[in-house]
Amino acid sequence: MFKAILQAYGLNPQLYQVETLGSGLINRTWKVTGDANVFVLQQINTNVFANPQHIADNLHLLADYLKEKSPNYLFAAPLATLDGQLLVQAEGSFFRLSPFVAGSKTVDYLTKTSQAYEAARQFGKFTFLLRELDVNQLKYTLPNFHDLSLRISQFKQALAKAPQQRKVEAEYAIQQVQQHFTIADLYEQISKDKLIPLRVIHHDTKINNVLFDDGDNSLGIIDLDTIMPGYFISDVGDMMRTYLAEANEEEQDMDKIDIRPNFFSAIYAGYISHMGGSLTTKERELFIYAGKFMIYMQAVRFLTDFLNGDIYYPVKYDGHNLTRAKNQIKLLELYIQAEPDFVQIINVLNTSQP
Ligand code: GN1
Ligand code: MG
């Protein structure tokens, strides 16, 4: 399989070694190492991305735009094959090859607030550099991806069809999700009444989607499949979801889930460093809501998948998706408790800015 793919890019397969890379739930990733060049190869999960060509079209458009407007910006877009395609088909699947950025590394856990600051700065910078691009030129690589209203109706459908046993097991989580429907009501209002603008959004701002150099400076962002029009609450919210707690969504001991306010502070400062002048008043008002929006949506998605019999997220043990949902519910609870502290942090940072 690798042979045909590498040949499509004019690379001699005998001169390259392929090894597994990364830990995403959706796409498979490999590092392809040769004497002089290193690449990242990814297989696109077509159960999730029904139209991989949309990804290629978006990245092509953005790469051209960024090259012209911000020539020094590192955008790790896929390479073209010998016949000019950004995707290769092999064994019924789609693959694409990107350059491996020399001297870069990714991290799976945040140990320092400076990493949160750097990541937030990078995701903010990305949206900032593209602020004048007409988002309608971009395709929706995953239609309705962060449409919380739709996620809620999928949850309700799953609940209506779920086997009794799963419903009993998930009783607490179901009740918690239902108790927080107001989070989805606000999203409904935001999208229906167009309260905030659509922007170019990454939609997967986990820390391992940021490239760092050895000195902990960020170089750029990766995992570009879900770049499409969206709201800033998706990117800022997913940073809060994944950076604030020391434990991640896989943690089974709920007592280990916590909220680190100094990481909130770093996310705010980092994002604002580029986007500060561009955010609308309404967006600023919704900054704290962003975290609730994303944590809640992830709880809903994990719980829905549990009720559906684990058809989307790969599971490693019985009840895995339910545990992930409970983890996110615990995080949501702690986040809501910490909201007054977050308000305070924003006030302090705003007054200390020139
Ligand atoms: C998926 O594959 P990965 O880990 O980058 C998911 C995200 C979820 C995340 C939860 C396309 O991302 O939305 O937040 O799992 N991506 C898709 O771990 O569904
Ligand atoms: Mg991803």
The DSSP annotation for 61-85 comes to HHHHHHHHH-TT----PPPP-TTS-
Ligand 1 site, residue 50, Cβ cutoff 6 A: no
Q: What is the pLDDT of residue 147?
A: 98
Nearest residue to 77 via CA among 58, 52, 103: 58
Cα separation of the two ends of the chain: 56
Ligand nearest to the CA of 23: 1
Ligand 1 site, residue 26, Cβ cutoff 6 A: yes
Residue nearest atom 7 of ligand 1, based on CA coordinates: 204
Task: Measure the CA–CA gap between 341 and 343, rounded to whole angstroms.
Answer: 5
Task: Measure the CA–CA gap between 304 and 309, rounded to whole angstroms.
Answer: 9
Task: Measure the CA–CA gap between 33 and 278, rounded to whole angstroms.
Answer: 41
The predicted-structure confidence for 231-257, as pLDDT tens digits, reads as follows 999 999 999 999 999 999 999 999 999
The predicted-structure confidence for 51-92, as pLDDT tens digits, reads as follows 999 999 999 999 999 999 999 999 988 999 999 999 999 988
Ligand 1 site, residue 48, Cβ cutoff 6 A: yes
Confidence band for 208, pLDDT divided at 50, 70 and 90: very high
- ipTM > 0.85? yes
The predicted-structure confidence for 302-335, as pLDDT tens digits, reads as follows 999 999 999 999 999 999 999 999 999 999 999 9
Amino acid identity of 37?
N
The answer to whether 230 and 198 are in contact (CB under 8 A) is: yes
Q: Which ligand 1 atom is the nearest neighbour of the CA of 225?
A: 11
Q: What is the pLDDT of residue 276?
A: 97
The structure tokens listed for 259 are: 């909220």
- Counting residues of the chain whose pLDDT is more than 90, the rounded percentage is 92
Ligand 1 site, residue 45, Cβ cutoff 6 A: no
The structure tokens listed for 134 are: 């007409």
Residue nearest atom 16 of ligand 1, based on CA coordinates: 26
Ligand 1 site, residue 24, Cβ cutoff 6 A: yes
Ligand 1 site, residue 29, Cβ cutoff 6 A: no
Q: What is the pLDDT of residue 354?
A: 55
Confidence band for 215, pLDDT divided at 50, 70 and 90: confident
Query: Could you tell which of 23, 26, 208, 303 is best to mutate to test the pocket of ligand 1, judged by most ligand atoms within 8 Å of the CB?
Result: 26
Q: What is the pLDDT of residue 307?
A: 98
Ligand nearest to the CA of 314: 1
Return residues with CB closer than 5 A to ligand 2 (ion).
Answer: 24, 204, 223
Ligand 1 site, residue 118, Cβ cutoff 6 A: no
The predicted-structure confidence for 262-283, as pLDDT tens digits, reads as follows 999 999 999 999 999 999 999 9
The answer to whether 240 and 218 are in contact (CB under 8 A) is: no
Query: Could you tell which of 23, 25, 150 is best to mutate to test the pocket of ligand 1, judged by most ligand atoms within 8 Å of the CB?
Result: 25
User: Coil, strand or helix: which one is 229?
Assistant: strand
Query: Could you tell which of 46, 204, 208, 222 is best to mutate to test the pocket of ligand 1, judged by most ligand atoms within 8 Å of the CB?
Result: 204
Residue nearest atom 9 of ligand 1, based on CA coordinates: 25
Task: Measure the CA–CA gap between 318 and 24, rounded to whole angstroms.
Answer: 20
The predicted-structure confidence for 101-153, as pLDDT tens digits, reads as follows 989 998 989 999 999 999 999 999 999 999 999 999 999 999 999 999 999 99
The structure tokens listed for 241 are: 């979801």
